[in-house]
């Protein structure tokens, strides 16, 4: 899974009050979202998971200066030239993946089988925003990417900010019929 483009431009200046937060300026190439194209889906806050031919992989960001782990599967051809981030996958069959594997086990029990595709593993020991378990789950669970459609998702800066701040969700990923995707997170907005 390639890194998904943000809906709005970020403040990248080091001395900016809201550094790394978005501003009311649409990223070039993301205008289709504001034009009403595509479908908004819920963005879960956890660890991205790839199920491929029965094997379970978890997201790994090969940032500048990090050692490339054995078995790393790149999700895109090269690192992003601006950030140095190179997203990819590593086997979840390791100590670091034990909670991902717990989520996969639970999904198999609930669903019977798991189709190849990408998912988000969430739960009490998983999370990225403000520590573990931002989704406030009582057990580790797996959620299919792009499945929970949000019909009332707004599409402009101020309405998105207000909508996300009033709800307990991480954000949205819009899916265009041609395969393009764009995301926005609650944490992207200035407080």
pLDDT digits (tens, 9 = 90+) for 40-93: 999 999 999 999 999 999 999 998 888 899 999 999 888 888 788 899 999 999
- The total of structural domains in the chain comes to 2
Residue 31 CB partners (closer than 8 Å, separation 6+): none
pLDDT at 14 over 70: no
Q: Is residue 26 located within the same domain as residue 87?
A: no
Q: Is residue 119 located within the same domain as residue 166?
A: no
Q: Is residue 35 located within the same domain as residue 110?
A: no
Spatial distance between the Cα atoms of 187 and 109, rounded to a whole number of angstroms: 33
Spatial distance between the Cα atoms of 148 and 173, rounded to a whole number of angstroms: 10
Q: What is the pTM of this model?
A: 0.88
- For residue 47 the two structure tokens come to 């660890």
- For residue 17 the two structure tokens come to 């009050």
The single-letter DSSP state of residue 60 is E
Spatial distance between the Cα atoms of 5 and 10, rounded to a whole number of angstroms: 11
Q: Is residue 164 located within the same domain as residue 110?
A: no
CA-based nearest residue to 181, from 189, 171, 191, 190: 171
CA-based nearest residue to 129, from 80, 188, 181, 87: 188
Q: Is residue 11 located within the same domain as residue 66?
A: no
Through-space distance between the first and last CA atoms of the chain, rounded to whole angstroms:
29
């Amino acid at each position: 899974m390639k890194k998904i483009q943000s809906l709005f431009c970020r403040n990248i200046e080091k001395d900016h009050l809201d550094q790394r937060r978005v501003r009311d300026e649409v990223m070039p190439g993301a205008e289709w979202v504001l034009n009403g194209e595509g479908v908004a889906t819920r963005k879960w806050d956890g660890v991205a998971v790839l199920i491929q031919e029965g094997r379970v992989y978890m997201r790994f960001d090969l940032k500048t200066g990090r050692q490339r782990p054995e078995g790393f599967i790149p999700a895109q051809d090269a690192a992003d030239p601006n950030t140095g981030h190179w997203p990819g996958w590593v086997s979840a069959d390791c100590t670091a993946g034990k909670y991902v594997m717990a989520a996969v086990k639970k999904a198999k029990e609930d669903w019977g089988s798991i189709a190849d595709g990408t998912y988000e593993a969430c739960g009490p020991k998983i999370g990225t925003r403000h520590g573990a378990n931002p989704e406030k789950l009582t057990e580790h669970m797996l959620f299919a990417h792009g499945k929970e459609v949000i019909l009332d998702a707004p599409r402009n800066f101020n309405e998105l900010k207000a909508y996300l701040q009033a709800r307990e969700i991480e954000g949205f990923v819009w899916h265009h019929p041609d395969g393009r995707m764009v995301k926005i997170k609650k944490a992207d907005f200035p407080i």
